[in-house]
Structure 1
């Protein structure tokens, strides 16, 4: 029996850590008929998009003006890339097939280009663009000149001194996201990002790093942690009684998280809010996700609550014992 047969239409199935070809196939198979969510593909993408949107306040320009280069073309890389392309499409009203062209991926064989299309897995094929072959990350950085460099490769120390210097040579403030876990697999350390960019990089990572002092300034690296999204995302689905997960809900979650980064965070070079505020952040994410579910007509808890943030907060579990004496 399926979970839906046992628990009904509104049971949420959240899954992760599957081999990437299985994860994409399962998500594609069930997303139209079940309330299903993959944290590796969708949760990671939503958190990273939020960081990129928040970082625009520091690096300048609109989302569509930036060029993105990924190291890593698995679940995380392609999931993040697709959500960025969808957000650019939403903001510019340009078809997603066109906005994908602002995003380039590098895998173990080099830049993903059109001449490699037949040998690529189906989920990487949309990222095969017109360009001559480039077989390593450094040359890809020099050729593409990205403003945003994102690592989701699971391979440590791949953002070398030369790579960071190259991306810093044509960006006043390069955005460098080293997302791989654990710390030993991070594409670079916070210290390397700030040192090799001469203190100009905006940096966040998947693993935690301590603040870095460089030339009498203290830089605080943010952590791109899925805990910012999936608890609030799940709560948004529950309080709206959503029956499907739509990409627009992921965009709504990202926008809510980006909206929780304030001036005092930006002053430290942070593109994520402190995790100590997670309950408040999760309520905002839940409210935005629920609002989108109502707008899309996939919510079943009616009537729609007047104040979704307050409603989300009232539905949150508080791990506190009552005092009966």
Structure 2
């Protein structure tokens, strides 16, 4: 049974498979029969009621049992828990997304603590590494260099044209795994799943995109199953022209307010693309700004434990890429906003340590431009322990992807000058983390406050249990995106990320801090995303970049009322003429 065109006045119908198709403004298309069961947006499986089965020509196409959505969730989770390998669990849950969209988001939201590590960090990275092998159903839009000059046509080929939010990658720096080329598509898909499940953005307005400009990963180029372009990466003018055509095309296809999130671009492109398109598009980079906001939130939340203010701390970043420098810059902006220091003086409280050692003015000519604001007067230091003893940071943040870099000596040196140091081991996946929660508490004798980018189990040290705070970007980017969309923002301001960080920090309770837990429990994340979205939307109105007018009287209530619900729509249906 195909689609049936039905007149609103109950008149005659038109078979869309016929040669002479009649399209008029007063007709609408209704999926029914097997076509409805294969439409993930409207499929409910065994949850279709008997009346719905009769009206939509489903009788005989389903077993007779009628189930609740709750029972369906229970069955899905039971089957997922039977699987031994995390990657098998990833495939199972993502397959559900292309069969039954609302059930997918219901399962994810109801089991967020259990499933977030599967659909997001860290298993998402493993899925990207094996993406060509497990690929069987395209999701989103793949735009390769072959489509140069025709990118707008690729976007128009996607069936849904009411797109408001895009997550795009070029696959060059996937998590801590490096260049995965076209296989990086797993990242935009995962990010947008969280836009909806955690942030309340309707899935129908989101679009994952991969820009395939080749890959320098020879292993992929030699792999017979690799699904991307088999050529080295485009660079220079060819790359820039391709990205510019893409950015122009998304505006042409979806309008001036289309939100574009850059994801997992390499450092040499990430900063300059963000700087360039911030002026003309609604864009943000989660690796730079989202990571910065969630880290700043954790540091702000820790202040009741450490005592003093943010200005009382010194910061050392082990890893000076987009994450490290992004965090350093947002911390400096927060210090300047609080009126404690000028922006230049605030930057002097943050030190970077890269592959060549401490970032200093003497090295300025040989480093990337985005490090320049944090190149301070200091003698060269190439050893991390020595740098800690010289700079005396109270906060150390790892964004290096060098697993185990925070050794016993590093953590002991950190404690020499500070009673309660803060340690962030943010690199993903788990094997790339600078240290584990257990090692941190052991080598600091329980003094440190620890947070990581990947989940670690609680740690018991000398009879006390410490719950690891996971500095997960999912606390930030879904709310930021929804705040931009609901306000109709025409630009994305740094102040939005400052406000998002402050809002997240305010949700950490005294009970959380008693366990040195710097982030709230994940089951609260929908409510947290609503608060973040409301705070971001407020900034949009304050800055004069909101276009959805008038401003709602109660922003938080407006956000909550507008969030996507994964519950099935139960409604009386009317039998169609056919």
**Same-fold status (TM-score > 0.5):** yes
TM-score range, shorter chain: over 0.9
Residue by residue over 1:143-172, the C-alpha shift from the partner in whole angstroms, topping out at 9 and shown as x without a partner, is 001000100001100000011011112111
Runs of 4 or more consecutive aligned structure 1 residues displaced over 4 Å after TM superposition: none
* Aligned positions of 1:135-174 closer than 5 A: 135-174=382-421
- Give the aligned partner of residue 278 of structure 2: 31
- Give the aligned partner of residue 108 of structure 1: 355
**Considering only aligned residues, what root-mean-square deviation do their CA atoms show, in Å?**
1.0
Kept in 2, the 8 Å contact 1:151–1:177? The answer is yes
- Give the aligned partner of residue 263 of structure 1: 510
Q: Distance in 2 between matches of 1:2 and 1:85?
A: 35
Q: Which runs of 5+ in 1 are unaligned?
A: none
Q: Distance in 1 between matches of 2:405 and 2:341?
A: 33
- Give the aligned partner of residue 476 of structure 2: 229
The higher radius of gyration belongs to 2
- Partner of residue 42 from structure 1, selected from 289, 302, 312: 289
**In the alignment, structure 1 residue 220 sits paired with structure 2 residue 432:** no
Q: Which runs of 5+ in 2 are unaligned?
A: 1-247, 573-578
Q: Distance in 1 between matches of 2:301 and 2:283?
A: 27
- Give the aligned partner of residue 265 of structure 2: 18
Distance apart, 1:93 and its partner CA: 5.6
Q: Distance in 2 between matches of 1:56 and 1:164?
A: 20
- Corresponding residue pairs, total: 325
Q: Secondary structure at the match of 1:70?
A: strand
- Partner of residue 533 from structure 2, selected from 261, 286, 292: 286
**In the alignment, structure 1 residue 132 sits paired with structure 2 residue 394:** no
Q: Secondary structure at the match of 1:2?
A: helix
Kept in 2, the 8 Å contact 1:12–1:36? The answer is yes
- Partner of residue 343 from structure 2, selected from 87, 96, 107: 96
**In the alignment, structure 1 residue 179 sits paired with structure 2 residue 426:** yes
Distance apart, 1:322 and its partner CA: 2.6
- Give the aligned partner of residue 221 of structure 2: none
Q: Distance in 1 between matches of 2:523 and 2:285?
A: 25
Q: Distance in 1 between matches of 2:514 and 2:562?
A: 33
Residue by residue over 1:74-124, the C-alpha shift from the partner in whole angstroms, topping out at 9 and shown as x without a partner, is 010000000000000100263211210000010011100110000010011
Q: Secondary structure at the match of 1:29?
A: helix
Q: Secondary structure at the match of 2:338?
A: helix
* Aligned positions of 1:236-247 closer than 5 A: 236-247=483-494
Question: What TM-score results when the alignment is normalised by the length of structure 2?
Answer: 0.56
- Give the aligned partner of residue 121 of structure 1: 368
Q: Secondary structure at the match of 1:177?
A: strand
**In the alignment, structure 1 residue 191 sits paired with structure 2 residue 473:** no
Kept in 2, the 8 Å contact 1:109–1:136? The answer is no
- Give the aligned partner of residue 317 of structure 1: 564
Q: Secondary structure at the match of 2:491?
A: coil
Q: Secondary structure at the match of 1:218?
A: strand
Q: Distance in 2 between matches of 1:93 and 1:144?
A: 20
Kept in 1, the 8 Å contact 2:425–2:434? The answer is yes
* Aligned positions of 1:43-82 closer than 5 A: 43-82=290-329
Distance apart, 1:4 and its partner CA: 1.1
Q: Distance in 1 between matches of 2:340 and 2:421?
A: 26
Question: What TM-score results when the alignment is normalised by the length of structure 1?
Answer: 0.98
Distance apart, 1:216 and its partner CA: 0.5
